[in-house]
Amino acid sequence: MRSMRMVLVLAILVACGSKANPPVGNTERGGNAAPVVAAAAEDCMARIEDWKPGNHDRHAFEDPATNLHGYKNGAGKIVIAATYRATYEFGPGGVAAVIDGTTPFLFIDPSGKVIAQAYASDNGPDYFQEGHARIVANKQVGFMTDRGQITVPPQFDGAASFCHGKVEVELDGETYYIDKQGKRTTPPPTE
């Protein structure tokens, strides 16, 4: 996964030419810690989702003739053509992140349909924290679930990651918290 991250970092630098804007609040993930699946709500720390191949009968592969990536099923049949610069494995919920060469990152479903553009964070697609990841459209930020459901359409100027079921967002210079349905709420408990 670390070598995949390096490939993705290079692809982002080529595709974007710059680093993504940081989210509201202190949500940076750092270090070279070993990947851990999912995020623990107790400490609100985002972690890499390093899924094993085979979720939803999809296995990422690279076409040696084109160096592009796609997905095969367990029988070895190509089910999503190798058109991506890089791919991640599908998670149990049926979402995978890919780099298409035009957009830094996309989230797709097992049929290859684009669900949303992924928010670029930590030189990769946003991690799912508490079952939600940030997505973007027209420079606005929203959220989708690890099952591909857009729960909060992109509408904010900035957003952190979920912690204790709440997230800090910014809109027109105002900062406040919302819940997983997008409704205003109180800040989470301090840690």
Contact 162, 173 (CB under 8 A): no
Nearest one of 10, 45, 9, 53 to 26, comparing CA atoms: 45
Cα of 98 vs its chain's centroid, Å: 9
Nearest one of 50, 64, 47, 72 to 4, comparing CA atoms: 50
Query: Which domain covers residue 141, as residue numbers?
Result: 2-32+44-185
171 within domain boundaries = yes
Q: What pLDDT sits at residue 101?
A: 83
Q: Concatenate the DSSP letters of all residues of 125-175 into one string.
A: EPPPBTTEEEEEETTEEEEEETTS-EEEEEEESEE---BTTEEEEEETTEE
pLDDT digits (tens, 9 = 90+) for 14-35: 333 333 333 333 233 333 223 3
Q: How many folded domains does the chain comprise? A: 1
37 within domain boundaries = no
Q: Stretch 115-132: mean pLDDT, rounded?
A: 91
38 within domain boundaries = no
CA distance 166 to 184: 9
pTM over 0.85: no
pLDDT digits (tens, 9 = 90+) for 45-57: 766 667 889 989 9
pLDDT digits (tens, 9 = 90+) for 165-176: 999 999 999 999
SS3 (DSSP) at 188 = coil
Rounded to a whole number, what is the largest CA-CA distance in the chain? 54
